[in-house]
Structure 1
């Protein structure tokens, strides 16, 4: 028992006189009782603030991987708690202790390590000998080994009600979700006030159907604007440390950002790895790590973490998940990736440069369900898909289901979630995205496989990738009147009508140093076409300006300066260098640009080795396929592949 002096110091009271007889110890006992009571009455005060504080919350299973798990719980009173975990091999019990403290709003998290992959562990929670939670439905299942073939289903959702539509969580469970990923506005809070943040999180986790599901199904979360302060909020919001602290108290994740800032995290489950981004904490707070003249979204630390994680990931499928959508929501608000397109485009370029396969994008926020197939083949080697899922509640916003050239599916439907199922037991491994409504109705489905999400490479040609997939004009732009796809080739022109003027089909991205390989044939009367390199479109005109590797009778293998100097810059020096052309048949064309040097080969014979003397000319630009204006003619292009020279 502390001395009276110690008690006086601890309670900030003036010193009390030393008693003159034993009976006077009673005041000290009363004082001690007050001190002890002050440590234990806080739950009653919390309960008086909000009804949710008087109810036990959880348990909730948090992050789980192949060898570890986190279990979260909030009792109604402080004090020691014990988690009991049963070993599925032996039935032996492991017990872990935690202390529920008022400063943590009584929230406790147990970290269980040394687990077997793909195994079920029963657990229970005790206070002393009294069981507070436990039974057949209280368990967690570890993930498969990363190298093991497995089938995994994850549910993604955003924008949830804490007071209604509870059947959505039962539907998620019934559709076989082995993990739940919340993308934000889960719950709605809209303030940085400490008590309100805690109350809203408690209310949300006390949803009966959510609690029932998540006592055995892992839960991962990030935030969006309404659970990070207010609508369209960013990293400049006041008191954001309080918001982060409450998030850490109420979510059991393996990590929260870099440990002191942000809440970004990642997890691996079988063939899929999810990178759960934080688009709020760092946004608008500093220059971008990729464009110092622009503000950041992710911040330098999260940017570095994401790039390193993507490059090192061995998962077949890599999901980049965030509350914001990856395109432009066409509203007055700034919280979409179009605002931070400098970081988005740098990320896409990184994926392409590092030849990272299996990347898909997931977003929420806009109260619509959408699927977009971004035409990123020339940059990445395969199309990037974006899956948008929102809302879990019933409030839809049809005006945000905006047109987009890459939109495959879009619909404002209430009470929806996205199920992603990755299956590496199949060959090739598959990824299926299904939008599901609370009623069980399947709204839309996208089926992909690993081959479709792998950078297109050319067998036997190290470092080359295709920039025309043989089926679509993804990654190219031009007139659909004068360019079409036929028999796996791009066909420019017409054999039935005169071509009024030069037309070009251009890549959507630029190239500087590269080697381009393709096959070309020309048929018809005019026999005049070409391949633009390091070129640009002339604004408000049909022409391009820049170098052209020529195609056609009398032009094969020459380097022409289109719309600039309008002259032949180089070509075969004599008859011995003239290419042998296969008329009305395919000819192999190779163009190499490095620095100010341009080289051309046709059917294995070099026709051009040109060094540009004008240092002022830009050595970077678009690649374009030409059909020349004039008599009916067709130029056919196929097997278009490129190797960028670094």
Structure 2
């Protein structure tokens, strides 16, 4: 709740009286504590030049700090004190106008999982205590063990310079580290004086200052603290060095990007390793390292660093965190990873190919909290956490449909904790979506759930499978997520199939099945559809009749909206003895101009003529493969059509499927039996398709 002007006046009157008494008595600690407080009415201005002290990156044997006592040059000494009271490390630093009078301290050689206190003194002709080594100025080094301990990290994005209950709630929850995920704070300027001023005001907020004095606080940036709404490395080419300079000055990290460019880095906390990515600085500035015909998001240096460090990570849980989101925002902005889907997908493909377990995604930016689960994307279900906003201004228009969406909440003052608990034989990662005083959603994931299991490796690429033997349940690794549901009386006929039962459709009754969720990877570059069909009737010759075998839908229910990446149908041909087996698809078309996101483009029809007598009243096996640049159609194991796509690209988004009908369900339905419908998340070789075409 925002403080009233009268409440703020009373608070500041009390502080002034306390500070006056403390100053009169010579209490420097209390004097500096008062000086840390900014004006709370809208954050209109700081009352002091002091920032910090801030505890930054803390790992097992190292710790980083920053402190700005005033806007004057001075020499400072930070001393670390162990539990026995002994001073174990001292580091000197000098403030100057060149670094906005911010001192940085890097301490090495500490003992893991140990609580230390620290103090900061001004050194020179005389030594003066500025920060006392007390319980308000302490930190705990990380436990480097990969099991048998618990560590909790808080994430939040989109925070204004204003009172908030989040920071005190984090203290009460007892998080071990805080990650500021961008728009923390809002700056929207590349003027260095403005950048520095906004960072100072942000870190001077009383509750955040109190939290950061004891809790390691690190982060990355997003567009508003990078300098421009929807900004990228090209559009801010002339200003990003200044915004980076201000960011580096006011964050106590062990690493900032390459050292001269970008701000990416990582924090290893034993049970969990957080990769704080930078999707801004390098974006649009050079060709992508995975596709030289497309602009990069991460840049070649960051890409190399990320792959090498992710492959080398020994932490059970690995968080790939950035300020943007990993999916399509579905608005006019282009600062999401959908814009750079080729780099996102290459990264996830690497995780899958290398068998890297424990990976989750994290994003922010959109003023909505969301939880998505991408089924079997990396050899296991990939959980995608979006946490935003940390202020109270929400954007309901960005709470958009996505086939992997499980939950969302359009409310303010939200943050997320990820807790890695290694106390048992099967470590757990517990995600909690929080607001001050309450938990809105809890997701508990075991390490087994986030690992490639040898027992299912061979089956993980079979994404959908309906045998219709006694039920319409899906029998692939995706389970009940894609069970088929009958509409208008579509039913199973016992012992009528190629093997066992089959599903029967009546065209006259407009019968079909609905599959409520998608089953392929986002932007799938290659997959196979296989099925058996036994038409009772076919579209009449010399008519406009069509009979759809299957067609994908925009969302979970039938709709006329275009989302027919998967589309297989039958229609009359000009020749009386033929029927047209017709394919359509929708793919992503790369952006034709700088900074633009890809768009879905419809392609087809792709026609293949088949003898009517071959299909009518008989069981036949149909299969087709999608390979980004072409569609290949098979009948009874033999290739009968190869169709080059005019515009090559991966699959466009779809949200489910209609079996036995058009995507809208009504009209153009299939008439007859179907059996053993399967979809594979790879392109089956001709030999594999021939095996499927054997009736056994």
TM-score, length-normalised on structure 1? 0.70
Alpha-carbon contact 1:456-1:465 (below 8 Å) kept: no
Instruction: Please show how residues 118-197 of structure 1 align to structure 2 within 5 Å.
Output: 118-128=113-123, 129-133=127-131, 134-165=133-164, 167-197=165-195
Instruction: Give the CA deviation at 1:262.
Output: 0.4
Residue 458 of structure 1 pairs with residue 449 of structure 2: no
Alpha-carbon contact 1:464-1:643 (below 8 Å) kept: no
Alpha-carbon contact 2:568-2:583 (below 8 Å) kept: no
Question: What is the aligned counterpart of 2:438 among 432, 441, 466?
Answer: 441
1:126 and 1:483 mapped to 2: Cα distance? 80
Question: What is the aligned counterpart of 2:68 among 74, 83, 88?
Answer: 74
Alpha-carbon contact 1:464-1:642 (below 8 Å) kept: no
Alpha-carbon contact 1:275-1:318 (below 8 Å) kept: yes
Alpha-carbon contact 1:458-1:464 (below 8 Å) kept: no
**Structure 1 residues 290 and 478: alpha-carbon distance in aligned structure 2, compared to 1, 3 A threshold:** farther
Structure 2: gaps of 5 or more residues? 1-37, 39-43, 465-474, 493-498, 537-548, 550-564, 572-580, 585-605, 612-635, 652-656, 662-668, 686-696
Instruction: Give the CA deviation at 1:502.
Output: 11
1:140 and 1:511 mapped to 2: Cα distance? 48
Instruction: Give the CA deviation at 1:278.
Output: 0.7
Alpha-carbon contact 2:267-2:275 (below 8 Å) kept: yes
2:226 maps to 228
Secondary structure at the residue paired with 2:121? Answer: strand
**Structure 1 residues 78 and 470: alpha-carbon distance in aligned structure 2, compared to 1, 3 A threshold:** same
Residue 55 of structure 1 pairs with residue 64 of structure 2: no
1:265 maps to 265
1:550 maps to none
1:230 and 1:411 mapped to 2: Cα distance? 26
1:211 and 1:136 mapped to 2: Cα distance? 14
Residue 403 of structure 1 pairs with residue 412 of structure 2: no
Instruction: Give the CA deviation at 1:56.
Output: 1.9
1:417 maps to 415
Residue 374 of structure 1 pairs with residue 385 of structure 2: no
Q: Which moved more, 1:630-639 or 1:125-134?
A: 630-639
Secondary structure at the residue paired with 2:226? Answer: coil
Aligned length: 532
Residue 99 of structure 1 pairs with residue 94 of structure 2: yes
Instruction: Give the CA deviation at 1:626.
Output: 9.8
Instruction: Give the CA deviation at 1:537.
Output: 4.8
CA deviations over 1:544-589 (Å, ceiling 9, x no partner)? 779xxxxxxxxxxxxxxx985759xxxxxxxxxxxxxxxxxxxxxx
**Structure 1 residues 480 and 200: alpha-carbon distance in aligned structure 2, compared to 1, 3 A threshold:** farther
Secondary structure at the residue paired with 2:224? Answer: coil
1:346 and 1:476 mapped to 2: Cα distance? 26
Instruction: Give the CA deviation at 1:55.
Output: 2.9
Alpha-carbon contact 2:505-2:511 (below 8 Å) kept: no
Alpha-carbon contact 2:463-2:680 (below 8 Å) kept: yes
Q: Which moved more, 1:397-406 or 1:196-205?
A: 397-406
Structure 1: gaps of 5 or more residues? 1-46, 485-489, 531-535, 547-561, 568-606
Residue 494 of structure 1 pairs with residue 503 of structure 2: yes
Q: Which moved more, 1:110-119 or 1:536-545?
A: 536-545
Instruction: Give the CA deviation at 1:179.
Output: 0.4
Instruction: Give the CA deviation at 1:403.
Output: 2.2
Instruction: Give the CA deviation at 1:229.
Output: 1.1
2:353 and 2:250 mapped to 1: Cα distance? 39
Instruction: Give the CA deviation at 1:146.
Output: 3.6
2:568 and 2:527 mapped to 1: Cα distance? 24
**Structure 1 residues 615 and 634: alpha-carbon distance in aligned structure 2, compared to 1, 3 A threshold:** closer
2:527 and 2:681 mapped to 1: Cα distance? 14
1:183 and 1:283 mapped to 2: Cα distance? 17
1:239 maps to 239
1:43 maps to none
1:305 maps to 305
Instruction: Give the CA deviation at 1:508.
Output: 2.8
Alpha-carbon contact 2:505-2:512 (below 8 Å) kept: no
Instruction: Give the CA deviation at 1:631.
Output: 9.4
1:617 and 1:53 mapped to 2: Cα distance? 67
Instruction: Please show how residues 522-541 of structure 1 align to structure 2 within 5 Å.
Output: 537-538=566-567
Secondary structure at the residue paired with 2:137? Answer: strand
2:283 maps to 283
Instruction: Give the CA deviation at 1:455.
Output: 2.4
Instruction: Give the CA deviation at 1:52.
Output: 3.9
2:644 and 2:230 mapped to 1: Cα distance? 44
Instruction: Please show how residues 555-574 of structure 1 align to structure 2 within 5 Å.
Output: 564=608
Question: What is the aligned counterpart of 1:109 among 91, 104, 107?
Answer: 104
Instruction: Give the CA deviation at 1:91.
Output: 2.9
Alpha-carbon contact 2:491-2:504 (below 8 Å) kept: no
1:465 and 1:424 mapped to 2: Cα distance? 30
**Structure 1 residues 292 and 640: alpha-carbon distance in aligned structure 2, compared to 1, 3 A threshold:** closer
2:214 maps to 216
2:589 maps to none
Instruction: Give the CA deviation at 1:255.
Output: 0.6
Question: What is the aligned counterpart of 1:508 among 500, 520, 530?
Answer: 520
* The structure with more radius of gyration: 1
Secondary structure at the residue paired with 1:136? Answer: coil
**Structure 1 residues 626 and 334: alpha-carbon distance in aligned structure 2, compared to 1, 3 A threshold:** closer
1:571 maps to none
1:373 and 1:97 mapped to 2: Cα distance? 48
Instruction: Give the CA deviation at 1:113.
Output: 0.9
